Copies of this chain bind each other. A is one copy, B any other.
Amino acid sequence: MTWDALPAGVLIDDPDVVAGYAHDQSRLTERATPSVVLAPRSTAEVQACLRAASAAGVAVVPRGAGSGLVGGANAPAGSAVLSLHRMDRVLEVDPVERLAVVQPGVVTGDLRSAAAGAGLFYPPDPGSVAFCTVGGNVATDAGGMCCVKYGVTGDFVEALEVVLADGRVLRTGTRTVKGVAGYDLTSLFVGSEGTLGVVTEITVRLLPAPAAPQTLVASFDRLASAGDAVARIAAAGLTPSLLEVLDRTTVRAVDAHAGMGLGDVAALLLVQSDDAGPGAAALLEQVESHCTGAGAVDVARSDDAEEAAMLLEARRLALPALERLAADRGGDWLLDDVCVPRARVVDLIGAVEAVAHDLGLTIGVFGHAGDGNLHPTIVYDHTDPDGRATAMRAFDRITEAALALGGTITGEHGVGTLKRHWLTRELDPVALDVQRALRRTFDPAGVLSPHAVL
């Protein structure tokens, strides 16, 4: 009845299939069973889905690849999951205006490849770049390793087509480089986690392809020294194209997982520069001196593309490797996503070490050190009968430490359901009130992901 007006093929109600769309990759978030999956193939079909859901008062959970880590795509009982996976076409790559137009279900890596095919560059590269979608990236304003130089997804979104909760189609933004006609609705939808509308088309700005990066790896015998190096690099005004950190726990896990021979160090910093000509080498030379000044025990530089790819792969394996470590111990993992001012990275690392020590937990620290955006990942095992509760206690203490350091509860993963109660800690009552009023303006009936964010 509810879905009778939908075009044939949109509705999926096979319970086995539906079960596969029940939740994202988050841990310790509420899970339930949605009633159906809606898989539209066009903007018109998305409109039909939202009109039917609004008429019936059924909650709709928009979903990209389900690679989120905060439960934003977890579906409440009886809700409809609106999966954009069939809308996966790159519609246009314009090399002169340096724009691409894509449907939301395009895998981020495929957009990057399409851009590269035209000699251009789409920077955003979340850890899940090989399987997450551009629509999902817009929903969370996803980041990645590019951000220290290039910024986040929102910095590249020029225009959107969005289906509102009531089924109307809204177009935001322009294809021009500049434009200030009316309020910036594009930025409002970026990072709104599917609560204001369903994005059905995305116009992104592309950059000229940069030079092949040169790479530096620095190892430290104290994690705090790596944090100090990050602060020195930031204070010197250097802008590498990548500045990532992995701590001992993470390095060991990656080595165990993939046998990369990274060695037993307290911390690794991976740094790249894609500056043109001799700029990259000059920048890394300065980075090297700051690493040495902060007490690095070893620094190696390379312009070998294969070696660079191997090191990046080590970084990308951080979460899978910690996941494997947790599984080997019969336990599980819980990943945080906090961001602090760059100079406070060293303090955040210290806070995480204190939490690990106090609660007797293994916590791997890795992430985008150059942005102050770290992903402390708590590993708990079968020896702790109260594992989940302990993990959540550690998670809360880390998030609290980030706020106390002048940081934010989420740098790039979003609020979802995992951090809903934390949002009320970060935002003051006026800000929360305005956020709620905005949500009501777009979705007065509360159809879109009513369980998430606010």
In the complex, whether A181 has a CB less than 8 A from a CB of chain B is: yes
Interface-facing stretch out of A140-148, A220-228, A250-258: A140-148
In the complex, whether A136 has a CB less than 8 A from a CB of chain B is: no
Complex formed: what's the CA distance from A178 to B176 in Å?
25
Q: How far is the CB of A204 from chain B (nearest CB, A)?
A: 15
**Is B171 within 8 A of A431, CB to CB?**
yes
Which residues from 104 to 157 on chain A have a C-beta closer than 8 Å to any C-beta of chain B? 119-120, 140-141, 143, 147-148, 152, 154-155
In the complex, whether A279 has a CB less than 8 A from a CB of chain B is: yes
**Is A180 within 8 A of B191, CB to CB?**
yes
Complex formed: what's the CA distance from A152 to B174 in Å?
15
Complex formed: what's the CA distance from A440 to B412 in Å?
30
Complex formed: what's the CA distance from A136 to B196 in Å?
29
Q: Which residues of B contact A234 (CB under 8 A)?
A: 96-98
Q: Which residues of B contact A148 (CB under 8 A)?
A: 177
Q: Which residues of B contact A140 (CB under 8 A)?
A: 180
Chain B residue at smallest Cβ distance from A278: B277
Please tell me which one of the listed residues B168, B339, B342 contacts residue A96 in the complex, with CB atoms under 8 A apart: B342
Complex formed: what's the CA distance from A239 to B121 in Å?
14
Complex formed: what's the CA distance from A417 to B263 in Å?
65
In the complex, whether A187 has a CB less than 8 A from a CB of chain B is: yes
Q: Which residues of B contact A406 (CB under 8 A)?
A: 175-176
Sort A-B residue pairs by CB-CB distance and give the 3 closest, nearest first.
A208-B237, A187-B187, A179-B408
In the complex, whether A317 has a CB less than 8 A from a CB of chain B is: no
In the complex, whether A15 has a CB less than 8 A from a CB of chain B is: no
Q: How far is the CB of A19 from chain B (nearest CB, A)?
A: 29
Please tell me which one of the listed residues B152, B179, B407 contacts residue A411 in the complex, with CB atoms under 8 A apart: B179
9 pairs across A/B with beta carbons < 8 Å?
A96-B235, A97-B341, A176-B339, A180-B408, A181-B409, A182-B454, A184-B188, A184-B191, A187-B187
In the complex, whether A185 has a CB less than 8 A from a CB of chain B is: yes
In the complex, whether A361 has a CB less than 8 A from a CB of chain B is: no
Please tell me which one of the listed residues B192, B278, B411, B435 contacts residue A178 in the complex, with CB atoms under 8 A apart: B411
**Is B340 within 8 A of A176, CB to CB?**
yes
In the complex, whether A170 has a CB less than 8 A from a CB of chain B is: yes
Chain A window 253-285, contacts with chain B (Cβ cutoff 8 Å), 1 for yes, 0 for no? 000000000000000000000011111001000
Q: Which residues of B contact A96 (CB under 8 A)?
A: 231, 234-235, 341-343
**Is B339 within 8 A of A182, CB to CB?**
no
Q: Which residues of B contact A430 (CB under 8 A)?
A: 164, 168-171
Q: Which residues of B contact A441 (CB under 8 A)?
A: 437-438, 440-441
Chain A window 356-391, contacts with chain B (Cβ cutoff 8 Å), 1 for yes, 0 for no? 000000000000100111000000000000000000
Complex formed: what's the CA distance from A250 to B138 in Å?
43
Count residues of A near B (Cβ-Cβ below 8 Å): 89
Chain A interfacial positions (CB closer than 8 Å to B): 95-98, 119-120, 140-141, 143, 147-148, 152, 154-155, 164, 168-172, 174-185, 187-188, 190-192, 196, 208-209, 231, 234-235, 237-239, 275-279, 282, 339-343, 368, 371-373, 406-415, 419, 422-423, 426-428, 430-431, 434-435, 437-442, 453-454
**Is A188 within 8 A of B191, CB to CB?**
no
Given A188-B183, A277-B277, A434-B185, A176 and B95 contact (CB-CB distance below 8 Å): no
Q: Which residues of B contact A423 (CB under 8 A)?
A: 181-182
Q: Which residues of B contact A426 (CB under 8 A)?
A: 181-182
Given A175-B406, A176-B340, A278-B277, A427 and B182 contact (CB-CB distance below 8 Å): yes
Q: Which residues of B contact A431 (CB under 8 A)?
A: 170-172, 182, 185
Q: Which residues of B contact A188 (CB under 8 A)?
A: 183-184, 187-188
Please tell me which one of the listed residues B177, B183, B339 contacts residue A191 in the complex, with CB atoms under 8 A apart: B183
Complex formed: what's the CA distance from A419 to B368 in Å?
44
**Is A413 within 8 A of B185, CB to CB?**
no
Q: Which residues of B contact A415 (CB under 8 A)?
A: 180-182
Complex formed: what's the CA distance from A424 to B414 in Å?
34
Complex formed: what's the CA distance from A143 to B178 in Å?
8
**Is A412 within 8 A of B178, CB to CB?**
yes
Q: How far is the CB of A368 from chain B (nearest CB, A)?
A: 8
